[in-house]
Amino acid sequence: MKSFRRRSSHLRRRAFTLVEMVMSLVILSVILPVCGSIVMMAGRATTDGATRNLAQMQAADAASQMTDDLNVALNFTQRTALAATFTVPDRLSAGSPQVVSYSWSGNPGDPLLRQFNGGASTALLNGVQNLNLAFTPRLMGPAPAATEQALFSHTTAFGSTHGNNLDNNNWASQYFVPNLPIGTSSYTLTRVRLLLKSGPQSAVMSVSLRFPDALFRPTGAIVAQATVYESALSSQYEWIDVRFTGLSGQNPLQGLCIVLTNATGSTNIGAVQIDQSLFSILSNAYWSSTANAGQNWSIGASTTTAMCSVYGTVP
């Protein structure tokens, strides 16, 4: 009898009372809705995040398409906050430019439309909320050509001037170093201007650019060469331009020699005017001459300078 009572008492202690059951139901009634809300919120957040990422990718694709078209735009026929129409280079091998148009109604949610060469408008991007096509235009195309400038110039005489006659044996050379802006890495030499006059006979003068030796005399290494016909010269001194091509990428620290020799003929081929003055030393230029067709050149003289200029462009 005592044993049965102990078991019954033990069983009663393990059971739930009515109050405990009611409290459990109350707690569950609070937890379950909260859990449900969390699940719904998590699901909504996942969906919104995926939609947002997709919208961002679509917007980026549309912006890339517009940028590609605008970067090659030739001219605009319409440009407002909601529309832009312009021509682009020939993409259809039709022999003429094509027309591209972008437009948006201005109503949030409406698509951005693209039209190519008068065809049907297609939705480039759906659900546009805001757009402003009133952009600032930028000039596209080849860079403007570099302006020619004087790289070396001795056009004003500081002392006495006289002519240096040239023939098949008597040649002349003027060494110079280009005067360039600090930081210049290269330049293009375009022409040389010399104060020349004709001689008594008709011949052809050769004007070459050569590398110098350590004494500022010309070597046999010719950088470029051009000709001057004596028949085109006047009997009085005048400025003659001798043009060169293909002389880009020149070293700004490298001096060069302007060498005047005969190209054809064995008689006088003309004369170049020179200036003799102590002030010529300031030009950092050296005059040299030969009486035996270049076999021996005089050491460069800094007190004598040919009346000349050197022109070129700097990138």
Number of H helices, E strands in the chain: 2, 17
Q: Quick one: tokens of 109?
A: 């949610």
pLDDT number for residue 264: 76
Measured between alpha carbons, how far is 128 from 107 in angstroms, rounded to an integer? 8
pLDDT computed for residue 23 by the predictor: 52
- What local confidence, expressed as pLDDT, does residue 205 receive? 92
Q: Give yes or no for a contact between 175 and 192, defined as CB atoms under 8 angstroms apart.
A: no
User: What's residue 64's pLDDT?
Assistant: 79
Tokens of 153: 């110039």
Cβ atoms of 298 and 288 closer than 8 Å: yes
**pLDDT at res. 39:** 40
Which domains are present in the chain? 68-125 (no CATH), 149-313 (2.60.120)
Gap between the Cα atoms of 187 and 169, Å rounded:
33
Type of residue numbered 102: Y
Q: How many CB atoms lie within 10 A of CB 137?
A: 11
Question: What pLDDT is stored for residue 206 in this prediction?
Answer: 94
| pLDDT block averages, 10 residues each, the chain of length 315 | 47 53 48 43 50 75 80 82 87 83 90 90 87 67 77 91 92 96 93 92 89 96 93 91 95 96 80 89 89 93 93 93
Note the pLDDT of residue 10.
47
Res 306: pLDDT: 95
- Smallest CA-to-CA distance from 66 within 118, 115, 108 is with 115
Q: In this structure, what is the dihedral angle of CA atoms 271, 276, 279, 285, given to the nearest 10 degrees?
A: 50
Asked whether the beta carbons of 171 and 306 are under 8 A apart, the reply is no
- Phi, then psi, of 264 in degrees rounded to 5: -140, 155
Q: Given this model, what pLDDT does residue 209 score? A: 98
